[in-house]
Amino acid sequence: MRLTSVPNTIDVQVRDVEDPAIVTAITEAIKEGLHHMPGKWHVSVSASGERDRWSLDVRGDFGRHSAKFLAAPDQLPDGVSRRLLAFLTTSASARS
């Protein structure tokens, strides 16, 4: 038996976050969340206008998703991870 790997490309943009450690944690959370998904993905995280309000935008082979959520900057990696999981769960349900 021969295993075939389906490659993916994940482009991450994090705006409005000053702390490089938080940017790295957000990037790692996104890549971990999408590592098993084939195709090209573009994910951006940015401030949403109000204090501690953030926007997560995901574009890929399974559609586009935007979510706004509340999180202190140090809680952004967890908030992004939860929103990404919600998108992937919803996308998987819609395909089955």
CA 81 to CA 28: how far, in whole Å?
Answer: 9
Average pLDDT over residues 39-54: 93
Task: Say whether pLDDT at 1 is over 80.
Answer: no
Residue 21 lies inside a defined structural domain of this protein: yes
Residue 49 pLDDT: 86
| Tens digits of residue pLDDT in 18-29 | 999 999 999 999
Closest of 6, 8, 30 to residue 17, by C-alpha = 30
Report DSSP state, residue 22: H
Structural domains of the chain, count: 1
Residue 3 pLDDT: 60
The CATH number of residue 55's host domain is 3.30.160
Task: Say whether pLDDT at 93 is over 70.
Answer: no
Task: Say whether pLDDT at 88 is over 70.
Answer: yes
Element (H, E) at 77: helix 76-95
CA 58 to CA 11: how far, in whole Å?
Answer: 10
Residue 50 lies inside a defined structural domain of this protein: yes
Task: Classify residue 45 by burial, with Cβ atoms within 10 Å: 0-12, 13-18, 19+.
Answer: buried
- pTM here is 0.85
